[in-house]
Amino acid sequence: MAVLSRFVSTLASTAAARVRRGPLVPSWSFPFEAAVAFLRETARVASGRPPLEQRAVWSEVRAPPSPVMSRVRRTFDGAGGVRAEWFEPAAYAGEAVVLFFHGGSFMYGSMATHGEMVTRLALATGARVLALDYRLVPEATFPAPIDDAVAAYRWLLAQGIPPGRIVLAGDSAGGNLAVSTLLALRAQGAPLPAGSIPICPWVDPARTGGSIDAHARWDWGWPADVPAWALAYAGGAALTDPLISPARADLAGLPPLHVLWGSREMLRDQVVDFVARARAARVEVHAEEYPDMIHNWMTLYALTPEAERSFQAMGRFVRRVAR
C-alpha cells in the first residue's frame, strides 16, 4: 500500500511541477519523469536505513509482469556453489553465454527486480544469460561478491564453455563486478572472457562529489548514501583497493569493453574517467553516453526509446566478440 501511495503521490507532484516549470529535462516525457520521481522518492524512503531495511524497501518496487518474460525459459542452477538462474531465449543463436551481475549497491537487487532487464538482454544478444545471485551486504562484504563471480565463471569453463564465448555484464554495482572480476581472473592467471559490458558501472566507490552531487537533481539516488554504501561493501578494506574501485586499477590486458552510461546520471564522472583510463591502457573500448538519460534508464523500457537502443547495442557487441 505504501508503494501505491508513493506512486500516486509522485504522479501528482510531477504533473504539478511540469505545469509550473515545464519538463525537468526538455526531452523527458511525463511518464518518464514521473517514473524517475517515483524512484527518487523510493530512494529517499530507503536512505540511511540499515542494509536489510533498504533491501526491503526496494524489494517492494516491482513492475507489472511483462509479456516479454514469456519469451525466455528460466531455470535455476548452482554455478560453482552460487545460486544462479538461466535465461534462455526460445531460439538462441550460437553458443555465447552472458554471465550477468545485478545492481543494487551490493545491498539489494535480485531477479525479482532485474528479471525483465535480463530477459531483454538475452533476447537482444541471442545468448543464454546466467544471472548470478551473489552474496550481499550485510550477510557478506568484499571480496565475497567477487569470489562468487569468479566461482561462477570457472564453473562455466568446467562445463566446457570456451572463455571466448563468455561475456561478463552487469549494471551499477554489478557493473563494478563485471570489471573487478576481470581483474581477479587476470591476477589468478585464468583465461579471460571474450568481453565485458559494464552498464552505468559504479567503478569508483571511493569517489565522492562531482556529478554525484551535481546530477542529483536529475537522477534518482541520494548522494549522502554513496559513501555509506561504499564503506558497507568494503567491510574495513581500503576503498582505494583496485578490486573495490576498479577505475583505479591497472587495466592493461583486459578484453574488449562495451560501456554504457547516461549523461544525466550521478556516476557520469567516474565512468567517463574509467573509459579514458581503459583506453590509455590500450583496452578496446566501445563507449556510449546516452543523452539526457539517468542511471539504469534501460529498466524503464516502456518509457523511453533509448532503452531499446541500448539493448540492441549490447546485442551487437556480444555477437561481435563472442564468436
Chain mean pLDDT for the chain: 96
> Do the beta carbons of residue 228 and residue 234 sit within 8 Å?
no
Looking at residue 62, what is its pLDDT? 78
Helix axis angle, 30-46 to 51-59, nearest 10°: 150
Which DSSP category does 77 fall into?
E
Q: Is residue 172 annotated as a catalytic residue, yes or no?
A: yes
Rounded-to-integer distance, Cα 313 and Cα 259, Å? 10
φ/ψ (deg, to 5) at 258:
-120, 105
Looking at residue 93, what is its pLDDT? 65
Q: Is residue 265 annotated as a catalytic residue, yes or no?
A: yes
Average pLDDT rounded to a whole number, residues 104-120: 95
88, 129, 151, 174, 258 from 95: Cα distances, Å: 11, 11, 20, 23, 20
H or E segment and range at residue 129 = strand 128-132
| All domains of the chain in start order, with CATH | 68-321 (3.40.50.1820)
Of 102, 265, 306, 310, the catalytic one is 265
The one-letter code for the residue type at 233 is Y
Of 258, 295, 306, 310, the catalytic one is 295
Average pLDDT rounded to a whole number, residues 223-235: 97
Looking at residue 63, what is its pLDDT? 73
Confidence bin at 150 (pLDDT 50/70/90): very high
Of 172, 180, 245, 310, the catalytic one is 172
Give the percent of the chain with pLDDT over 70: 99
Q: Is the pLDDT of residue 104 over 70?
A: yes
**Which tens digits make up the pLDDT trace of 2-18?**
888 999 999 999 999 99
Q: Is residue 295 annotated as a catalytic residue, yes or no?
A: yes
Give this prediction's pTM.
0.97
Confidence bin at 64 (pLDDT 50/70/90): confident
Give the percent of the chain with pLDDT over 90: 94
Sign of the Cα pseudo-torsion (57, 303, 115, 316, in order): negative
Looking at residue 1, what is its pLDDT? 53
